[in-house]
């Protein structure tokens, strides 16, 4: 604890000294979220992280999240220095959608508008007409469908299927998945509901369809936190990364109990499954390190940046 306190004090001093602000995702470790909060930074989903970076005056953004979030920050703020605790923090959706393969796929379907989830590389965004996050995907796809557009959707097939069902849009789905959400099991949730009959089930739509079907509320991280605040159940079974419990307990706590949705079919909760291994790489040590010594800086090729900015700006304008 002493060491932790000293580390936090060092980071606070470095943030001031370097004119930097810490932007953390809901899935990072509690200590990182706590520090972002204490230093006037933000804790948010990927859409709000992007927005916060553009509005804050600091010349350096330290993005505690995964690589695509750092890239998005750089695309929107080319004049700012964007640092990450580690450039190794990636995402299975980003990895599962290589830009060259994706470009070939899009080229084969020139009649379709290209909609990509924020969890993609800058190069994939550069090939897209629209970027969406889970909080605005349905609204944007509904808008495009109402204009008669047929779509390509990448990379998350579960979220794609969910949006397709909700909107009735004609969508060609890329075959990607999140290694965290893909593991939630309907059978395990049903078993837990036997033990906690009053529990509400909160599900992020990157989860399998059978899990989404059991949900009392489906939505992005921010939407799930709001649902937990609005609902009066004593217990919540939550199918998303357990990093979200930090904010959920803070805002909706008040005697409510939050339980990780099971990732094994027998109902046993796997204590390390509902946590993204890449988000977990964002340690206090690495945050202090990158602030002190630099390195781990995000660079985006200017031509790629210019193209990727357009679909990102469309999303920001649509959701403003």
Residues that bind ligand CIZ (CB under 6 A): 45-46, 118-119, 133-134, 178, 206, 220-221
Nearest position to ligand CIZ, beta carbon: 45
Tell me how far, at minimum, the Cβ of 234 lies from ligand SF4, in Å: 27
Would you count residue 36 as binding ligand SF4 (CB under 6 A)? no
Residues 6+ apart with CB under 8 A from 158: 177, 178, 181, 182, 205, 206, 207, 208, 209, 212
Copy the structure tokens of residue 255: 């005697």
Would you count residue 48 as binding ligand SF4 (CB under 6 A)? no
- Which string of b and e fits 304-317 if b means at least 16 CB within 10 Å? bbebbbebbebbbe
Would you count residue 180 as binding ligand SF4 (CB under 6 A)? yes
* 50 vs 186, beta carbon nearer ligand CIZ: 50
Q: How far apart are CA 51 and CA 55, in angstroms?
A: 6
Find residue 117's DSSP bridge partners: 132
Q: How far apart are CA 110 and CA 307, in angstroms?
A: 17
Distances (CA, A) of 108 to 102, 112, 113: 10, 9, 12
Would you count residue 73 as binding ligand SF4 (CB under 6 A)? no
* 16 vs 271, beta carbon nearer ligand SF4: 271
**CB of 105 closer than 8 Å to CB of 152:** yes
- Residue 278 interacts with, from ligand CIZ, ligand SF4, none (CB under 5-8 Å by kind): ligand SF4
Tell me how far, at minimum, the Cβ of 272 lies from ligand SF4, in Å: 13
- Residue 133 interacts with, from ligand CIZ, ligand SF4, none (CB under 5-8 Å by kind): ligand CIZ
Find residue 115's DSSP bridge partners: 130, 153
- Residue 134 interacts with, from ligand CIZ, ligand SF4, none (CB under 5-8 Å by kind): ligand CIZ
Site string for ligand SF4, 80-119 (x = CB under 6 A): -----------xxx-------------------------x
Tell me how far, at minimum, the Cβ of 92 lies from ligand SF4, in Å: 4
Length of the chain: 320
* 162 vs 278, beta carbon nearer ligand SF4: 278
* 27 vs 246, beta carbon nearer ligand SF4: 27
* 45 vs 260, beta carbon nearer ligand CIZ: 45
Tell me how far, at minimum, the Cβ of 225 lies from ligand SF4, in Å: 16
Q: How far apart are CA 71 and CA 138, in angstroms?
A: 24
Which H helix or E strand runs over 238? Answer: strand 235-239
Would you count residue 241 as binding ligand SF4 (CB under 6 A)? yes
Would you count residue 29 as binding ligand SF4 (CB under 6 A)? no
At 62 the three-state DSSP class reads strand
Q: How crowded is residue 272: how many other Cβ atoms within 10 Å of its Cβ?
A: 9
Q: How far apart are CA 211 and CA 186, in angstroms?
A: 5
Q: Which residues bind ligand SF4 (CB under 6 A)?
A: 27, 66, 91-93, 119, 178-180, 206, 241, 276, 278-279
């Amino acid at each position: 604890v002493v060491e932790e306190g000293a580390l936090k004090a060092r980071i606070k001093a470095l943030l001031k000294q370097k004119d930097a602000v810490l932007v953390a995702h809901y899935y990072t470790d509690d200590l990182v979220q706590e520090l972002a909060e204490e230093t006037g930074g933000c804790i948010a989903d990927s859409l709000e992280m992007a927005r916060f970076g553009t509005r804050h005056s600091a010349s350096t953004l330290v993005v505690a999240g995964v690589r695509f979030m750092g890239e998005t920050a750089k695309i929107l703020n080319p004049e700012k220095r964007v640092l990450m605790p580690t450039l190794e923090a990636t995402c299975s959706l980003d990895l599962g959608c290589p830009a060259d393969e994706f470009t070939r796929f899009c080229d084969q379907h020139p009649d379709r508008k290209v909609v990509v989830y924020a969890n993609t590389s800058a190069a994939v965004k550069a090939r897209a007409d629209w970027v969406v996050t889970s909080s605005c995907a349905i609204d944007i796809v509904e808008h495009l469908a109402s204009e008669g557009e047929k779509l390509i959707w990448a990379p998350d097939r579960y979220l794609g299927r969910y949006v397709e069902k909700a909107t009735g849009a004609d969508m060609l789905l890329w075959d990607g998945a999140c290694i965290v959400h893909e593991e939630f099991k309907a059978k395990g949730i049903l078993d837990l509901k036997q033990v906690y009959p009053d529990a509400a089930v909160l599900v992020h739509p990157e989860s399998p369809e059978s899990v989404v079907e059991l949900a009392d509320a489906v939505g992005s991280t921010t939407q799930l936190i709001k649902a937990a605040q609005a609902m009066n159940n004593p217990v919540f079974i939550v199918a998303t990364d357990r990093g979200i419990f930090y904010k959920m307990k803070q805002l909706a706590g008040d005697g409510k109990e939050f339980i990780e949705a099971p990732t094994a079919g027998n109902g046993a909760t796997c204590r390390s499954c509902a946590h993204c291994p890449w988000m977990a790489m964002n340690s206090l040590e690495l945050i202090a390190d990158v602030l002190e010594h630099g390195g781990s800086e995000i660079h985006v090729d200017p031509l790629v940046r210019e193209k990727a900015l357009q679909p990102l700006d469309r999303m920001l304008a649509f959701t403003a």
